[in-house]
Structure 1
Amino acid sequence: MKLLEGKTAIVTGAARGIGKAIALKFAEQGANIAFTDLAIDDNAKQTEKELAALGVKVKGYASNAADFEDTHKVVDEIIKDFERVDILVNNAGITRDGLMARMSEQQWDMVINVNLKSAFNFIHALTPVMMRQKSGNIINMSSVVGLTGNASQANYSASKAGMIGLAKSIAKELGSRGVRANCICPGFIITEMTGVLSDEVKKKWAEQIPLKRGGTPEDVANAALFLASDLSSYISGEVISVTGGMNM
């Protein structure tokens, strides 16, 4: 039997990159997938097609995860279409890097809203659903810089540190209702976001990693699958680093 057979998962920001890899991994293991992105564009339609080919129920939803009301509306749609939600992966995220002395209020607000407030929005909308079910599994996608900080990324680091605090708080608050919440902290993962970096920067990153390579979206998806499945049924409020050892 597949690890997620019969379960329904929401994965935010899943049209590409790590979110898409997680959605595909979950679908391979039998989960029905509701995924969100800002727009159901060509990338999202391709993701929907690839997921459907795995024989599970799939639907993509256009949603601004940073908007409270919009998030509640899309969750209501998902519940109507799928009847239940067992797993939530808060993956939506952006970067707007800059030194603190030059960072604008807009850069700060955009990153906090998309990366952190979006997780609050979805958890808030799904809390009554999971409480009624007396079960639920929340995975917040944090980052290694949420643990270590990083120059020129005060906004991003703060948002990702907040994801850890949020997951731990929810784990304590909803644990008695059968709801688990954990975090994944990816390190240097080769995606479109990191693909714009120069070869020199990538080489420098690799030198800092004990495994001497960047990770793949599938490396992160494998950790997400573990946390989403019953293999981790007694794990809650924890942080799993997928960094190749770079944060030791």
Structure 2
Amino acid sequence: MGRLDGKVIILSAAAQGIGRACAIAFGKEGAVVIATDINGEKLKELEQYSGIKTKVLDVTQKEQVEKLAKEIEKIDVLFNCAGFVHHGTILECEDKDWDFTMNVNVRSMYLMIRTFLPKMLAQKSGNIINMSSVASSIKGTVDTPSLRERIEAQPNPQQALQEFLERQKTGRMATAEEVAHLCVYLASDESAYVTGKEFIIDGGWSL
């Protein structure tokens, strides 16, 4: 018996990083996982895992989100994992960068929750998990492809990586799989009495 047997889970940004690790972990625990992302090519790689169905979806587009909702009769867990961290200072952030960041990090959660919450209310059950970055204040770093891309974009990638590692109190970055362990708990009935709670995975940075 899996911890998530029979549960239908919809998650965004499933093609790589934390979203991918969570999709795989959910599937292993018996859930029916509807993994979405804008990167259809990377998303297809998840189809080799049992329990995972893939769907190309831009979570910033209302019509696409609503179309997906009409195709799904039941939802037990909504996991909003899509996010974007812009590198550089505010002086390097153009209007389009600001709009894109807000649309992905904030508006997408609003669209997904507003669209799928009525189904949960009708069922009188459901879990919503929202993922966000702690990069702005806590610096607990998770080793993901997007982080590696930002490091490689630096003038001195090796030095940038070393700086990331040196500020980690544990001496290493977190893995996406370690974050997935918490998400499995939050998606399961084990967390039935947990609500409105913020969980920080930062390797002790905030202590």
- Which of residues 189, 211, 215 is equivalent to 2:142? 189
The question of 1:90 aligning with 2:43 is answered no
For residue 90 of structure 2, give the secondary structure of its aligned residue in structure 1: coil
State how many pairs are aligned: 201
User: Counterpart in 2 of 1:64?
Assistant: 58
Contact 2:36 2:57 survives alignment (8 Å): yes
Report matched runs for 1:16-165 at 5 Å. Answer: 16-41=16-41, 43-49=42-48, 51-52=49-50, 56=51, 58-77=52-71, 79=72, 83-145=73-135, 148=137
Counting only pairs closer than 5 Å after superposition, residues 199-214 of structure 1 correspond to structure 2 as 199-214=158-173
Is the contact between residue 86 and residue 137 of structure 1 (CA under 8 Å) also seen in structure 2? Answer: yes
Amino acid at match of 2:44: K
Matched residues in 1 for 2:147 and 2:3: separation?
31
**1:124-176 Cα distance to aligned partner (Å, 9 max, x none):** 11111000000010100112135x278xxxxxxxxxxxxxxxxxxxxxxxxxx
Looking at structure 1, the residues matched to 40 and 133 of structure 2 have their Cα atoms a distance apart, in angstroms, of: 26
Counterpart amino acid of 1:96?
Answer: H
Conserved? CA contact 1:144–1:247, under 8 Å: no
For the residues of structure 2 that align with 1:211 and 1:144, how far apart are their CA atoms?
A: 16
For 2:177 and 2:95, the matched residues in 1 are separated by 34
Tell me the distance in 1 between the aligned counterparts of 2:103 and 2:8. 26
CA drift of 1:207 comes to 2.0
Contact kept? 2:138, 2:202, Cα under 8 Å:
no
Cα distance, 1:199 vs. partner?
2.6
**Runs of at least 5 residues in structure 1 that lack an aligned partner in the other structure:** 151-186
Runs of 4+ off more than 2 Å: 94-98
Counterpart CA distance in 2 for 1:24 and 1:5 is 14
- 2:204 aligned with 1:245, yes or no? yes
The normalised TM-score by structure 2 is 0.91
Q: Is the 8 A contact 2:138 2:205 kept in 1?
A: no
Distance in 2, matches of 1:6 and 1:202, equals 41
Say which SS state the counterpart of residue 113 (structure 1) adopts: helix
**Distance (whole Å) between structure 1 residues aligned to residue 39 and residue 175 of structure 2:** 25
- Find the counterpart in structure 2 of residue 184 from structure 1: none
Post-superposition shift, 1:102? 3.0
Query: Contact (CA 8 Å) 1:39, 1:61: kept in 2 or not?
Result: no
Residues 15-56 of structure 1 show CA distances to partners (whole Å, capped at 9, x for unaligned) of 111101000001111000101111422x1111122x23xxx2
User: What corresponds to 1:170 in structure 2?
Assistant: none
Relative contact order (C-alpha < 8 Å, sep 6+): which is higher?
Answer: 2
Superposed displacement of residue 97, structure 1: 2.2
User: Which residue pairs with 1:163 in the alignment?
Assistant: none
- Whether the 8 Å contact between 1:7 and 1:86 is mirrored in structure 2 is yes
Instruction: For 1:33, give the aligned amino acid.
Output: V
> Would you say the 8 A contact 2:7–2:32 is kept in 1?
yes
